[in-house]
Structure 1
Amino acid sequence: MSNTLITILLATYNRAHLIEETLRSIQNQTHVNFECFITDDNSSDDTAVTVKRFCQGDPRFHYFLKPEKYPKGLSANRNFGLDLAEKHGAQYIQFFDDDDIMHPRKLELQLKPFLVDKKLDLTICCYRKFDKTAMIEFDLDLADDKSCHIKTGNLLKSFYLNKINLNSLGPLWKAEVLKRYRFDERLRYTEERDFYLRIFLLQKIRYVPVPYILFWYRKHEKAITSNLYEDNGVYKKEAKRISETNFLNLVLKQEKAPYFLLKSFLKKAIITNNSKNLKGVNNYVLQKIFDWKLRYFTILVLNPYFRIIRVFHNFNFYV
């Protein structure tokens, strides 16, 4: 059994009625050398009382109230956890949420590949949804590929195109990878997708899929974000816009952007009639890309498109 220390970052908000089940599932891990930092986004219920009482019985669990310098929301709460992990010299990081359940062998099985290959950055696993804990069976069954896709030869492409199942709770990270990154605190939704896309774009991540169901995601109406925000539709739309715009701008700053992303951006911009994004991708292709199919598309299709837009809407585009 490895004595490697794993740091679990458990974000919580108003979960006094559920969090103890989550904490018990962490406490029952077969890999016993862990520390669990529970970061509370200033809950208004008895979460603090419940967690502090639990921490008294197990010194591996630590309660932290999020300081005022961090804004409200899950993204900032996760960043608070990451800052704590870096301060304490974390080696491996496991994100988790306050209403979900870990398989007893999650940490053990996802740590194993790291002990074999010191160059690994990430291991991921499969999951299932549940309504009640009575639905959970801790048999170590292989996940069938139809329900949970975690194998891919191109992590960025598969994740961007939603071809693999990856969320905050599945990955076990080498802490060194995450030092450069933080969640976008403006985002109240899609924060994990935004976070992972930036990492996968900017770094070549070495990962191993662990094809077992190693955590259960609670399916219910009151997730952390829906407890915080009233008009979910407005926030979701705005978060999606911010995330997509930021990622597009980041991609266009790269010396060599992946073709599949450029093609996807072009397609989406045409469908949504987003002339600003079209112009940005068009100029990038003409200046840096030497794939003739893509160049012909921009020259024969996009440039005439811009001319039409300029004529009918009096826009001053550079063509």
Structure 2
Amino acid sequence: MNNPLVSIIIPVFNKSDLVIETFKSIVNQSYANWECIVVDDGSSKYDFNQISEYTQLDQRFSLHKRPSDTQKGANACRNFGLSISKGRYIQFFDSDDLMLQDCLIGRVRAIQELSLDLVIFSMGIHKNDGFVNDDTPDVIVDDWEAALSAFIGKDRLPWNLQRTLYKSSLLKGEISFNEALSRFQDVEFNIRLLSRLKPKFKIFTEVDCVYRRASASNPRTPDFNQNVFNSIPVFLDSIYSEMPKGVLNENVLNLQMWLFNLIALYADKSIKTSQLDDLIRVSENKLELNSKQKQILRLLFISKTKLKGIKGVVRLNSYLRKKYIKLQIR
């Protein structure tokens, strides 16, 4: 195995303590030939200074501010990082996750030895000073068509950005991130990549990186739920323009359930009824929603935004789920 340069691209926004832990996991890699392109998305002065101080300790790091003429968000940061990267391979990574020591060397070895466009490894869940394996089995698919179906299927997400090492020549000049999306970025990017570029890849079940779940020490942004609702129509427009119709038709029931689950999880008092109406209007034809399903989604929204904490609401939500699923049967 030769040792080509790997470009690690990380968007950052505040949370400097966690960011620096991520940087330390990169510095501790057994594979040394990397550059880490850090793109700041408008952090506070304190956090930016903390991040800047650490990146100056190792010349393999470079810190940049997102260009002012681009839209705020991680996707614009990733696109900028990709545009200035020099590596033969590209590793997108999140600023609060961690690489295990042999993460990069294992990925570089696999992608070279098998002559692949990308490789995917498994991801553990951060716990205390270590990690635990996810209880949900990895989704194993062998070709781009099966992967496309899995990305909108009912099982675990086949892979996200952190788990994947890409060949630079596959991406550069061919595909970029959708800067209108603030959620579902990984799924939408990989769907377009699979549909357009039909890459050769392999999935490995070995855990080589660690994911931090949202917590008190790693909170979601205040506008997280708003961003989910704003991103759903953009996501649907994208995948319905990119994916083969046959794959979409086979998975329409999964997408209907995906919409129900998103409303159940993220509808709160910050979401206006007009936003739900717009969402249903955009979704109804693509997802083939009938009038009763739309009524259930509206009742679910009322339950989550107006009735939260009221006795019996949990039972109501369970009833709505069962009724919605029953209506899905064709």
Equivalent residues of 1:37, 1:62 under 8 A apart = yes
- Alpha carbons of 1:175 and 1:113: their partners in 2 closer, same or farther (altered >3 Å)? same
Q: TM-score, normalised by structure 2?
A: 0.71
- For residue 239 of structure 2, what is the aligned residue in structure 1? 247
* 1:277 is aligned to 2:286: yes
Equivalent residues of 2:92, 2:161 under 8 A apart = yes
Helix, strand or coil at the partner of 2:39: strand
- Alpha carbons of 1:277 and 1:92: their partners in 2 closer, same or farther (altered >3 Å)? same
- For residue 140 of structure 1, what is the aligned residue in structure 2? none
Amino acid at match of 2:186: E
Deviation at 1:124, TM superposition (A): 0.6
Equivalent residues of 1:93, 1:175 under 8 A apart = yes
- For residue 180 of structure 2, what is the aligned residue in structure 1? 186
Q: Separation in 1 of the partners of 2:223 and 2:50?
A: 29
Q: Separation in 1 of the partners of 2:206 and 2:22?
A: 19
Amino acid at match of 2:233: R
Equivalent residues of 2:25, 2:99 under 8 A apart = yes
Deviation at 1:116, TM superposition (A): 1.4
- For residue 78 of structure 1, what is the aligned residue in structure 2? 78
Equivalent residues of 2:31, 2:102 under 8 A apart = yes
- For residue 151 of structure 1, what is the aligned residue in structure 2? 140
Equivalent residues of 2:121, 2:208 under 8 A apart = yes
Deviation at 1:267, TM superposition (A): 8.1
Q: Following superposition of structure 1 onto structure 2, how do residues 202-241 of structure 1 map, counting pairs within 5 Å? A: 202-221=196-215, 226-227=220-221, 230-241=222-233
Q: Following superposition of structure 1 onto structure 2, how do residues 122-137 of structure 1 map, counting pairs within 5 Å? A: 122-132=118-128, 134-136=129-131
Helix, strand or coil at the partner of 1:187: coil
- Alpha carbons of 1:208 and 1:223: their partners in 2 closer, same or farther (altered >3 Å)? farther
Equivalent residues of 2:147, 2:158 under 8 A apart = no
- Which of these residues, 92, 95, 107, is aligned with residue 89 of structure 2? 92
Structure number, greater radius of gyration: 1
Deviation at 1:117, TM superposition (A): 2.9
CA RMSD of aligned residues (A): 2.8
- Which of these residues, 156, 162, 167, is aligned with residue 160 of structure 2? 167
Deviation at 1:211, TM superposition (A): 2.0
- Which of these residues, 240, 248, 252, is aligned with residue 261 of structure 1? 248
Q: Separation in 2 of the partners of 1:219 and 1:23?
A: 18
Deviation at 1:47, TM superposition (A): 2.8
How many residues align? The count is 261
Q: Separation in 1 of the partners of 2:10 and 2:180?
A: 20
Q: Separation in 2 of the partners of 1:7 and 1:267?
A: 35
Equivalent residues of 1:269, 1:277 under 8 A apart = no
Q: Separation in 2 of the partners of 1:65 and 1:231?
A: 22
Q: Separation in 1 of the partners of 2:126 and 2:287?
A: 42
Q: TM-score, normalised by structure 1?
A: 0.73
- For residue 30 of structure 2, what is the aligned residue in structure 1? 30
Q: Separation in 1 of the partners of 2:89 and 2:253?
A: 38
Amino acid at match of 1:277: K
Amino acid at match of 2:117: D
Q: Separation in 1 of the partners of 2:211 and 2:253?
A: 35
Q: Separation in 1 of the partners of 2:75 and 2:61?
A: 21
- Alpha carbons of 1:189 and 1:223: their partners in 2 closer, same or farther (altered >3 Å)? farther
Deviates more, 1:121-130 or 1:54-63: 54-63
Equivalent residues of 1:124, 1:150 under 8 A apart = no
Q: Separation in 2 of the partners of 1:160 and 1:199?
A: 14
Deviation at 1:206, TM superposition (A): 0.7
- For residue 195 of structure 2, what is the aligned residue in structure 1? 201
- For residue 57 of structure 1, what is the aligned residue in structure 2? 57
Q: Separation in 2 of the partners of 1:268 and 1:169?
A: 24
- Alpha carbons of 1:26 and 1:264: their partners in 2 closer, same or farther (altered >3 Å)? same
Equivalent residues of 1:156, 1:197 under 8 A apart = yes
Q: Separation in 1 of the partners of 2:15 and 2:254?
A: 42
Deviation at 1:52, TM superposition (A): 2.4
Helix, strand or coil at the partner of 1:208: strand
- Alpha carbons of 1:198 and 1:232: their partners in 2 closer, same or farther (altered >3 Å)? same
Equivalent residues of 1:126, 1:148 under 8 A apart = no
Identity rate, percent:
25
Deviation at 1:159, TM superposition (A): 2.2
Deviation at 1:58, TM superposition (A): 1.3
Equivalent residues of 1:188, 1:225 under 8 A apart = no
Deviates more, 1:28-37 or 1:157-166: 157-166
Deviation at 1:164, TM superposition (A): 4.4
